[in-house]
Amino acid sequence: MKRSIPAPSARECGVARLRPAAALAPKNMILWTIQKEKAWDRLQKRGYLVATAKNIMEESWVSAYSWMADQMKKRLGPPPYADCFPVWAWYQWESTKRKRPDLRAGGHLSKNQTGVRIEFDCHESTTLLSDFELWHYVLNYWYLPESEADGEAFEAELERRGLSFFKTKPLPHPEYHEKIVRSWDKIFALDWTEPDLSSPQDQKSIQATVWQLRIDQVRSYTRFKSK
pLDDT at 27: 56
Q: Are residues 49 and 103 in the same domain?
A: yes
- The residues, any chain, with a CB within 8 Å of residue 205's CB and separated by 6 or more, are 90, 92, 93, 94, 95, 131, 132, 133
d(CA 99, CA 119): 11
In a domain, 193, yes or no: no
* Domain range enclosing 167: 141-187
pLDDT at 13: 38
User: How many structural domains is the chain composed of?
Assistant: 2
Q: Are residues 125 and 145 in the same domain?
A: no
How confident is residue 24, by pLDDT bands cut at 50, 70 and 90? very low
The arithmetic mean of pLDDT across residues 186-203, rounded, is 94
The arithmetic mean of pLDDT across residues 48-77, rounded, is 90
Q: Are residues 88 and 70 in the same domain?
A: yes
In a domain, 21, yes or no: no
Q: Are residues 107 and 173 in the same domain?
A: no
The arithmetic mean of pLDDT across residues 94-110, rounded, is 92
Phi and psi angles of residue 66, each rounded to the nearest 5 degrees, phi first: -65, -40
More confident residue, 22 or 106: 106
Does this model's pTM top 0.75? My answer is: yes
In a domain, 12, yes or no: no
Q: Are residues 128 and 145 in the same domain?
A: no
How confident is residue 137, by pLDDT bands cut at 50, 70 and 90? very high
